[in-house]
Amino acid sequence: MYVYDEYDQKIVEERVKQFRDQTRRYLAGELSGEEYRPLRLQNGLYIQRYAPMLRIAVPYGLLNTKQVRKLAQIARDYDKGYAHVSTRQNFQFNWPELEEIPDILAELATVQMHAIQTSGNCIRNTTTDQFAGVAADELVDPRPWCEIIRQWSTFHPEFAHLPRKFKIAVNGAKMDRAAIEVHDIGLEAVKNEAGELGFRVLVGGGQGRTPYVGAFIKDFLPWQHLLTYLEAILRVYNRYGRRDNKFKARIKILVKALGENVFAEKVEAEWAYLKDGPSMLIEAEVERVSKFFVDPAYEALEDQSEALAKLEAEHPGFARWRTRNTFPHKKPGYIAVTLSLKPIGTAPGDITDKQLDAVADLADRYSFGELRTSHTQNIILADVRQDQLFTLWNELRENGFATPNVGLLTDMICCPGGDFCSLANAKSIPVAESIQRRFDDLDYLFDIGDIDLNISGCMNACGHHHVGHIGILGVDKKGEEFYQVSLGGYAGRDASLAKILGPSFAQEEMPDVIEKIINVYVGQRTEDERFIDTYRRIGIEPFKERVYAKNH
């Protein structure tokens, strides 16, 4: 993974100093609350319902164990002993004291971490595939490009105050696990016929109040021009994005208003000036950054299919876990493992300080001292030896990471909602929990199979409800918390947005509603048909009928 040099280190240290002074001025009354707001937001600091919330950047979801131990220590010393993995692969602390934030940042800087641009109207943390670099279906490793974008976007002077937040995602694999089509900019690394590397560029995707699947405006952007082209897009957006209404300020609204072709022309015109300037990337830099992402010292191993099959026959629990929580690795004899942060009864994505220490320890022993976070709020050990999988599974069970539900109904994406977030219309965590409790039968869960259930506490869609096969949105109905259900969202390649099922429901109705939806699927599916495919075949009507039927 990328290691800071003296320049990178200097920038985060100077940031700590700057933010310490900003916070001091605020506490001394030299900055009003309103003036401090954009400054603290650009440093990931929200003032929430009960306490401040601090969002720490985890660039493209990659962490080493030193960093994880630091997070554990911060959770212990400055918080209530736990942290939360966000849907943008970042970490959040829910209970720090405002006065102590500069100290937390100083601690983070010692392990090459920060909270820069994790919120606010600026370019946010670039995200990618949680299996980047190890996935068997990968064509191009997106991580060096994410790092190059990270550096370019960090304190970019021109884009410090955009109309609204701005999110970039990069995919380099056949499958799209980074949901690039619902980002402000989605980049897909591709090779042209001559074998040269470039990017397919999408703009104007996004969730929130007006969700859109973005439009591809460039089929092949040679890698040398990545940053100049991004700069052109951002400049057009910075100049022409709406600033009069925060709900219409995202780039997707501008792209829709102009039409994607006109938008693309504007970008091309701007790019023509920037294209061959000094920001054009050079081979030497790509090489320098790529060196940090070469393969770890893999051993020449063989796949362990037989040995694993034997263990599975003896341990059905292991078999179950392996089918759900592991992912094929490009190297024979290795496998990627997902640690589920979705056991029943804990808020999705929450992890305690002890667990963080345990994860670090496991990563050191089983996975070259590195780990990843996913936008589905889980943790990944990417480079596990298959011949150590069984012992790892036993250790994961001891630490509460082995819930065999990755990709299943109970592996929900869920925002912090009304329990923490001051923007929420409704709570989301208790809804997640009530559904998890209803579907606590593992056999049944396995039978239902792959399904994305995503929950957001309000329109801002941090819980990605628009792209859940089943989406749940907290709404406010005359001061009461209600939940709107939608179906058919999909975040992968050829993304689609979910359609609203009908009138919203009270919280206690939700497990029943979800159960009815699942029953329709189970009754209608053909063999091996996933929920999303059944939905696409039969449409929303059968679900509607069942859920809203009078005597049900």
424 binds ligand SF4 (CB under 6 A): yes
Cβ atoms within 10 Å, residue 484: 20
463 binds ligand SF4 (CB under 6 A): yes
By DSSP bridging, strand 505-506 and strand 379-385 are unpaired
284 binds other proteins (CB under 8 A): yes
The least CB distance from residue 183 to other proteins, in Å, is: 20
Nearer Cβ to other proteins, position 143 or 464?
Answer: 143
423 binds ligand SF4 (CB under 6 A): yes
The b-or-e profile of 118-137 (16+ CB within 10 A means b, else e) is bbbbbbbbbbbbbbbbbbee
Q: Give how many residues touch other proteins by CB under 8 A.
A: 40
CA dist 338 and 453 (Å) reads 18
417 binds ligand SF4 (CB under 6 A): yes
Inter-axis angle of helices 510-524 and 541-548, to 10 degrees?
140
Pick the piece of the chain touching ligand SF4 (CB under 6 A) from 31-39, 251-259, 283-291, 453-461: 453-461
- What residue 174 binds from other proteins, ligand SF4, none (CB within 5 to 8 A, per partner kind)? none
460 binds ligand SF4 (CB under 6 A): yes
Spatial strand order in the sheet of 62-64: 62-64, 370-373, 379-385, 334-339, 326-328
493 Cβ neighbours under 8 A, 6+ residues apart:
175, 176, 181
Chain positions 117 to 176 lying near other proteins, rule: CB under 8 A, are: 121, 148, 151-152, 154-163
458 binds ligand SF4 (CB under 6 A): yes
The least CB distance from residue 274 to other proteins, in Å, is: 9
29 binds other proteins (CB under 8 A): no
- What residue 462 binds from ligand SF4, other proteins, none (CB within 5 to 8 A, per partner kind)? ligand SF4
Pick the piece of the chain touching ligand SF4 (CB under 6 A) from 173-181, 311-319, 370-378, 454-462: 454-462
The least CB distance from residue 160 to ligand SF4, in Å, is: 23
Could you tell me how far CA 461 lies from the centroid of its own chain? Answer: 12
The residue within the footprint of other proteins, chosen from 11, 98, 190, 311 (CB under 8 A), is 11
The total number of residues written for the chain in this structure: 552
545 Cβ neighbours under 8 A, 6+ residues apart:
none
* Most distant pair of Cα atoms in the chain: their distance: 69
CA dist 388 and 98 (Å) reads 44
Pick the piece of the chain touching other proteins (CB under 8 A) from 129-137, 237-245, 329-337, 508-516: 237-245
Residue 148 CB-half CA count within 13 A: 27
Nearer Cβ to other proteins, position 160 or 540?
Answer: 160
456 binds ligand SF4 (CB under 6 A): yes
The residue within the footprint of other proteins, chosen from 279, 388, 507, 524 (CB under 8 A), is 279
The least CB distance from residue 211 to ligand SF4, in Å, is: 13
Q: What is the 3-state secondary structure (H, E, C) of 318-351?
A: HHHHHHHHEEEECCCCEEEEEECCCCCCCCCCEE
- What residue 38 binds from ligand SF4, other proteins, none (CB within 5 to 8 A, per partner kind)? other proteins
453 binds ligand SF4 (CB under 6 A): no
Nearer Cβ to ligand SF4, position 42 or 64?
Answer: 42
Amino acid at 259: G
The residue within the footprint of other proteins, chosen from 243, 330, 354, 365 (CB under 8 A), is 243
281 Cβ neighbours under 8 A, 6+ residues apart:
148, 223, 224, 225, 226, 227
The least CB distance from residue 122 to other proteins, in Å, is: 9
- Torsion, Cα 68 74 75 79, to 10 degrees, reads -160
421 binds ligand SF4 (CB under 6 A): yes
The residue within the footprint of other proteins, chosen from 24, 174, 288, 291 (CB under 8 A), is 288
Amino acid at 173: A
51 binds ligand SF4 (CB under 6 A): no
Amino acid at 186: G
The least CB distance from residue 172 to ligand SF4, in Å, is: 28
Cβ atoms within 10 Å, residue 31: 17
Compute and round to an integer the Cα radius of gyration of the chain. 23
Residue listed under structure tokens 């056999």 = 443
CB contact at 8 A, 266 and 300: no
Least Cα distance to 463 among 417, 497, 507 occurs for 417
Which residues would be at the binding site for other proteins (CB under 8 A)? Answer: 5, 7, 10-11, 14-15, 18, 21-22, 35, 38-39, 121, 148, 151-152, 154-163, 227, 235, 238-239, 243, 273, 277-279, 281-282, 284-285, 288
Which residues would be at the binding site for ligand SF4 (CB under 6 A)? Answer: 415-417, 421, 423-424, 456-458, 460-463
